[in-house]
Amino acid sequence: MSLRLSGVTLTYPDGDDGRVVAVDDASLTVEPGQVIALTGPSGCGKSSLLAVAGTLIRPDSGLVEIAGTAVGELFEPDRARIRREQVGFIFQRDNLLPDLTVVEQLLLTAHLRGERPSRHREEARELLDAVGLAGQEETLPRRLSGGMRQRVNIARALMGPRRVLLIDEPTSALDSQRGHDVIELIVRLTRERHLAALLVTHDLASLNVGRPGGVDGLIEMLDGRLIGGDQTAVS
Ligand code: ADP
Ligand code: MG
């Protein structure tokens, strides 16, 4: 079991003495090789749920498990290590650095950790090949289309021993065909690499829920609550 949330509640401070409930008793399970899509209106708590699942925020209550480890019980350095090594994040904006080549974007994290980039070059090339960017290793981001930049972003998120992929509205800056291609790519890589992927998206037309090449489930979120998560047993 690669990603499990059980009874997760997250509140933020709101005004002088109030709290706003962003995630309300949410439970869901994503198995290795599965993509579960999460959809819902703006402000319903989707990004907050991803932040909790990725150990960026500690919830008020509830359990988060990544690859069998209950991360809530860990001290911050251990949470940070799991986040860095096992969790890949993909956001709407690609956040590529303008002065780095495509392959350097992928090697940057290892470099910042003080590891020799040469050790990771082979992995970077393999990933760029997997996302259809072989031959673009030395290209700068400004020479790439939006769809290609998002594919660099995806390849970068997969560097390292990933178990979990958390993806926040990856297609909202793309036209529908490129958006469709990006979701198809995420599904294929998730299957090939046995990741557990949670995909926030409004692009319902590209999901093909339960069909070959499509996502494995769709959960709706409203006011912090999940409809179709573990409570209502979609899996
Ligand atoms: P979504 O991604 O579905 O648009 P968010 O998770 O961003 O939803 O937000 C859920 C709720 O939590 C909203 O009411 C939002 O205003 C509130 N919220 C999000 N981030 C913060 C924060 N850092 N501090 C206070 N409130 C926040
Ligand atoms: Mg959001």
pLDDT of 230: 72
The domain defined by 3-233 carries CATH number 2.30.110.10: no
| Closest residue to atom 12 of ligand 1, CA basis | 22
β-strand partners of 168: 200
Q: 158 by DSSP, 3-state: which?
A: coil
The residue whose CB lies within 8 Å of the most ligand 1 atoms, and thus the one to mutate among 48, 168, 199, 219, is 48
pTM of this structure: 0.94
pLDDT in tens, 87-107: 999 988 888 999 999 999 999
Give yes or no for residue 77 having a pLDDT over 90: yes
The residue whose CB lies within 8 Å of the most ligand 1 atoms, and thus the one to mutate among 20, 46, 49, 226, is 20
Give yes or no for residue 231 having a pLDDT over 70: no
pLDDT of 233: 43
Contacts of residue 81, defined as CB under 8 A and 6 or more positions apart, other chains included, come to none
Tokens representing 22 are 């962003």
Residue ranges lining ligand 1, Cβ < 6 Å = 12, 20, 22, 40, 42-48
Q: Where exactly are the structural domains of the chain?
A: 3-233
Angle between helices 102-112 and 118-130 (to 10 degrees): 140
Give yes or no for residue 232 having a pLDDT over 70: no
Instruction: Report how far apart, in Å, the C-alpha atoms of 47 and of each of 16, 36, 165, 168, 198 are.
Output: 24, 15, 13, 7, 11
